Amino acid sequence: MKIFKAIFATMAIAATCSAQANLLVNGGFESPVGTYGSYSIVSSIQGWTGGPTIEIQNHAAGTPFEGMQLVELDTDANSSMYQDFVTTAGSYYTVHFNYSPRPGIAASSTGIQFSFNGVVYDTLALSGLNNSDTVWVSRDFTILAAGTTSRIAFAATGISDSFGGYLDNVIVSAAASPLVVVAVPEPETVALLGLGLVMAAFAGRRRKA
């Protein structure tokens, strides 16, 4: 019984890990690596295209959710970014990301909008006025893909004043398929089955003799 449970637990863990593989490139914005305490404004980074630019911070004005870097979606003015990735039409995908208002900045400036294939799924605008550091919230969605390529995008929606919302840890993964539950016999059933096999073997030997 314990062996059966161990096998099925291993299968479940493997399926979960497989489902969590990130289909995006550079979802944590760790490339290119900037100097600690600095920021840079660029037209694009690995995997992402800016609209028109992307601001990468390395602990410049807040702690990332994970890793060393985060994105602020208000460079010199309100900005946006997107990434296209391969999908299967008719399949579901989970989208996860973490958002924080910039510390010390009002909600009117920290808005971020999330869209998938041009459809807006979420808009966040929280106040960071009383925050001395980032305060991250998690967002999760399950979305049906319509084509062989999909686009995930984020855009600033607040006041265009170079102080915006923070984004980190963007993950897109294939939605996990339900596990097929296979009935595992109880110990008593296994014992009876073993006894039956022994008796059948004994009877076979008597007939042979």
Residue 66, judged by CB atoms within 10 A of its CB (0-12, 13-18, 19+), counts as middle
- 8 Å CB contact between 54 and 79: yes
Beta strands 149-156 and 165-174, pairing class: unpaired
Predicted structure pTM score: 0.76
Q: What is the pLDDT of residues 39-72, one digit of tens each?
A: 999 999 999 999 999 999 999 999 999 999 999 9
Local confidence band at 19 (pLDDT 50, 70, 90 cut-offs): very low
| Domains of the chain with bracketed CATH | 15-174 (2.60.120.260)
- Segment 89-116 shows an average pLDDT of 98
Q: What is the pLDDT of residues 112-148, one digit of tens each?
A: 999 999 999 999 999 999 999 999 999 999 999 999 9
- The answer for residues whose C-beta is within 8 angstroms of residue 155's C-beta and 6 or more apart is 51, 73, 78, 79, 80, 81, 112, 113, 115
Report the candidate in 194, 164, 195 with the shortest Cα–Cα distance to residue 57: 164
* DSSP 8-state code for residue 172: E
